[in-house]
Structure 1
Amino acid sequence: MSIQDEVVQIYHKIQKKVNHPYLNRYLPKPTVDIDKILTLFLLFKQHGSYKNIEQYVMSVMIAQMGLDTHEKITKNEEFKGLELKQRQLTVLSGDFYSSLYYYILAEQKDIQMIKWISQAIQELNMHKMHFFYAENVVNVDYYFNHLRQIESCLIIKLAEKLDINEWSDIIADFFFLKRLHLERDFLDHREATHTSYIYHIIKGTDIDKQNFKEQIEDQMNQIRKKWSMDILPKKQNLSKHLGYLIDHFTKVSQPFKRNTLIKGRINYADR
């Protein structure tokens, strides 16, 4: 079975694992990032000592889903009827995913991995606190630095625990780039959605959205330049699994079209 086939298989197993008929009636289908599945899969492959890679990948991804789901909870206290039910179920579904990843690892009897992921979640939440509750911050680089960590903290902390540190910067770049694409689309369409990080920065302010978009574009250009001048020329000296991951990252991100990353991910998984 090819790497792509194994990753797609894990993707569908995660979808099945988190499927809940009652939640499906009221909440949208949870998002599963297949690029993160691939990254985790190759990390464990690179390490070489984990037999049930599928279970470990599933546990980390479901932990990420729990964090992402709790992030969708709004602060509005005036919900009634169906909206209130949806809000309550969002809280419960996030708790469900969080407990599910513990259960999967408990089946593997891997207390060390539970500890590692818990530590990574703690650090991730610290970055979110710094991002969402910063006071009197006018430097956009402050937000970009924390956003870069938020997007890949769970995977990078795991890579460090597995002693595969040379992957960290590449992984952080790619998932930060994905987030910047989404945020640029938000600014293009002016969609006031709490799932956008940038929305939390600019809501209720007189920040020049066009200027913010230009700074996002500049950040994206810096990543592209770094990859073309530093990462790609060195690819032949990297491990087989990291080389595969870089090939995938460059293929997915190369077009830089609106929604390319999201659509590509869905088509890849739902073939």
Structure 2
Amino acid sequence: MNSYRIPEIAKQYTEYDMIQIHTDLPDFPELRTRLLFAFLNGNSKLSKLSELYTLATSLVQLGLDTHDMVTASNDIKEKKAARSRQLKVLAGDYFSSRFYHLLAQAGQIEMIKQLSDAICEVNRLKMNVYIKMKQMKLTAEDYVHQSVEIKSQLFLSFSDLMSGAYDQAWPDIFRSYAKCEMIFEEIFRVDSVDNFRWSWGFWHILQIGSKEERKQLQAEDSDQAKVRTLLHKYNIKSQLYNMLDAHTKQLQTMVQQLDSDKLISELFHIGEPFLRFLAKPSKVLEEI
């Protein structure tokens, strides 16, 4: 069995001085990468390729996430900001190109097609969400569902390979982890009013708030103090915390139904950040 060392291997592609000095990168997709590796490595037919497949997929995801950080407008006058934007574009392209190279070098042409199809699906989902957002037609429930699907598509492209005991469990367990990860991120997003727009809290208030509150949220120059008041009024962080608690418990039940003690142990270890966070509710709730 291979030991998990994907982030260390990926550093040879991500830790370039030019990138580190002039721009920032998104977080490495650690949780989803570990999940994919755990399931692939636990399959006797796939274990020899588990490291290659997981590394390639993590680089594709990092490339997509890096491109998501590129500002929509190219009208940047300040030299430092313009260079940062350009390097994000180039870095995202570079990470994606490494996935092609790694798999082609190993003769995994079918896997290149499989991941390429998944990339197309991710971009389709993103475009649909973007259109709904611009039209202000997205609900909070839609936001959760679409966010989870976007996070999951690359990794779920391996579903057909998960034969045997895990082919049924893999998609549901992965989506459940992705949902917990998404809610976890949204909890911390509440702390920054600048990042509130287009968040779960934004769509939730837009769905249930008064006409005046909805108008206030849709304004491009929303008053930050008033936004904070709405966050407290509708208990956004508390609701997200309760959502995470509920989904984590559901996930624990799903994982316990697997027939591999080793895989169960690994999956619980992967979910530890959620459990540690939920074990200290007082510090979180006192900020709400």
TM-score (norm 1): 0.80
* Match in the other structure for 1:180: 183
Q: CA deviation at 1:221?
A: 3.7
Residues 99-108 or 116-125, more deviating: 116-125
2:35 to 19, 35, 39: 39
Q: Which runs of 5+ in 2 are unaligned?
A: 207-216, 281-288
Question: Residue 155 of structure 1: CA displacement?
Answer: 1.2
One-letter amino acid matched to 1:219: M
AA in 1 matched with 2:54: V
Secondary structure at 2:73 match in 1: coil
Residue of structure 2 equivalent to 1:264: none
- Write out per-residue CA displacement over residues 29-82 of structure 1, whole angstroms, 9 at most, x where no aligned residue: 553233223212122223322324322211111011100000001113321211
Cα gap change, 1:100/1:121 in structure 2, threshold over 3 Å: closer, same or farther?
Answer: same
Using the TM superposition, give the Cα deviation of residue 21 of structure 1 relative to its aligned residue in structure 2, in angstroms. 2.4
Counterpart of 1:158, as a letter, is F
- Alignment partner for residue 75 of structure 2, among 70, 75, 78? 78
C-alpha separation between the residues in 2 aligned to 1:119 and 1:200?
32
Q: Pick one of 210, 219, 244 that aligns with 2:243.
A: 219
CA deviation profile, 1:71-116 (whole Å, cap 9, x unmatched): 0011133212111111111111100111111000011111111111
Shift of 1:136: 3.7
Q: Distance in 1 between matches of 2:42 and 2:51?
A: 14
Q: Which residue of 1 aligns with 2:214?
A: none
- Please state whether the residue corresponding to 1:85 is helix, strand or coil: helix
After superposition, residues 231-246 of structure 1 pair within 5 angstroms as 231=254, 234-235=256-257, 237-240=258-261, 242-246=263-267
Q: In 2 relative to 1, CA 139–34 (structure 1 residues): closer, same or farther, beyond 3 Å?
A: closer
- Whether the 8 Å CA contact 2:121–2:153 is kept in 1: the answer is yes
- Matching residue of 1:171: 174
Give me the whole-angstrom Cα distance separating, in 2, the residues matched to 1:24 and 1:252: 26
Structure with bigger gyration radius: 2
What amino acid is aligned across from residue 74 of structure 1 in structure 2?
T
Distance 1:125 1:239, change over 3 A: farther
- Mapped to 2, the partners of 1:84 and 1:246 lie a distance apart of 41
State the alpha-carbon separation in 1 of the partners of residues 84 and 126 from structure 2. Answer: 23
**8 Å contact from structure 1 (residues 73, 87) kept in 2:** yes
Secondary structure of the residue that 1:255 maps to in structure 2?
helix
Q: What does residue 269 of structure 1 align with? A: none
| Structure with more contact order per residue of length (Cα contacts < 8 Å, sep ≥ 6) | 1
Structure 1: which amino acid aligns with 2:240?
Answer: I
Q: Is the 8 A contact 1:62 1:100 kept in 2?
A: yes
What is the 5 A alignment of 1:1-271? 6-7=3-4, 9-50=5-46, 51-80=48-77, 81-134=79-132, 135-163=135-163, 164-192=167-195, 198=200, 204-205=218-219, 208-210=230-232, 211=234, 212-213=236-237, 215-227=239-251, 230-231=253-254, 234-235=256-257, 237-240=258-261, 242-256=263-277
Query: Is the Cα contact below 8 Å between 1:183 and 1:198 reproduced in 2?
Result: yes
Identity rate, percent: 22
In structure 2, the CA distance between the partners of 1:181 and 1:240, relative to structure 1 (3 Å rule), is same
> Separation in 1 of the partners of 2:278 and 2:22?
32
CA distance in 1: counterparts of 2:168 and 2:43, whole angstroms: 11
Query: Which letter does structure 2 place at the counterpart of 1:75?
Result: A
RMSD: 3.0
Number of residue pairs matched by the alignment: 252
Q: TM-score, normalization: structure 2?
A: 0.75
- Give the unaligned 5+ runs of structure 1: 260-271
Question: Residue 16 of structure 2 aligns to which amino acid in structure 1?
Answer: H
User: Which letter maps to 1:96?
Assistant: Y
